[in-house]
Structures are given as structure tokens and as C-alpha cells.
Amino acid sequence: MTIIEILLSLFLPPLGVFLAYGISTTLVINIVLTLLGWLPGVLHAFWVLAKKG
């Protein structure tokens, strides 16, 4: 992960996921998690970006 991806995932989790995967179910899941709470969205974004490798 680059520093830009880390910062985007920290402050705007859906944007970080969008830049990595585009419009997909992963993005929808991240938006829902972010709306439920900031921390679940951030954790999911970090997990998704780490998994992408």
C-alpha cells in the first residue's frame, strides 16, 4: 500500500476502495460499513487494500 492509499483509507474509506476496485460490490459494502460507523469502514478499507496487494 502506498501512503496515498493509507491516507485515503483513513479519512475517506469509500474513496480508497473506489480507486482500487472501481464501482463494485466491495465499494457498496464499504459505503454501508462507513455509514454504520467510521471505524468499520476504515478497517474494511485497510483489509481490502491489503488483500489487493
How is the chain split into domains, by residue range?
A: 3-52
Q: What is the mean pLDDT of each run of 10 residues along the chain (53 residues)?
A: 88 94 96 96 95 82
Return the number of other C-beta atoms located less than 10 Å from residue 50's C-beta: 11
In the numeric block, the cell 460507523 is attached to: 37
Query: So what's the pLDDT on residue 52?
Result: 84
Query: So what's the pLDDT on residue 2?
Result: 85
| 8 A C-beta contact, residue 17 and residue 30 | yes
In the numeric block, the cell 502506498 is attached to: 2
The CA–CA distances, whole Å, from 40 to 22, 30 equal: 20, 8
